[in-house]
Amino acid sequence: MSVFTLGVEIGVSKLGEQVGSKLPSILKTIPLHDQKITIDNLETDMIYKALDQEGNKIPFFFSRTENKYTPIIFDLEKYDSVNKQYIYTRKKTFIRNRE
């Protein structure tokens, strides 16, 4: 019975890895240009950095709305340092249609 259980665990693990590795390719993210938000009082010391899988540094900050914290990727072109404002365009992720 333990050999059977081990075989199932190994098989399910491999299947999960195969499906999981393809999942990001079926998702698509689009900006919602009609849903721009101005975030006030953003200072540069509030910017953090994360590493992606290739080792690139990705700047981001957290925004809090209705007791929920959301990480937002920081784009310097969307930041007004004089007024300490950041213009954020909301995005939506959905499953791609087969093309």
Residue closest to 89 by CA, chosen among 30, 28, 32? 32
What are the average pLDDT values for consecutive 10-residue runs of the chain, which has 99 residues? Answer: 60 56 64 86 95 94 91 94 92 72
Element (H, E) at 35: strand 27-40
Identify whether the C-beta of residue 91 lies closer than 8 Å to the C-beta of residue 35.
no
Is residue 91 classed as helix, strand or coil in its secondary structure?
strand
Q: What is the pLDDT at residue 14?
A: 59
Beta-strand ranges (E) seen in 1-99 are 27-40, 48-51, 57-65, 68-73, 79-80, 85-95
Domain residue extents for the chain? 28-95
Considering only CA atoms, give the Rg of the chain: 20
Tell me what pLDDT residue 58 has.
96
With 0.75 as the threshold, say if the pTM is over it: no
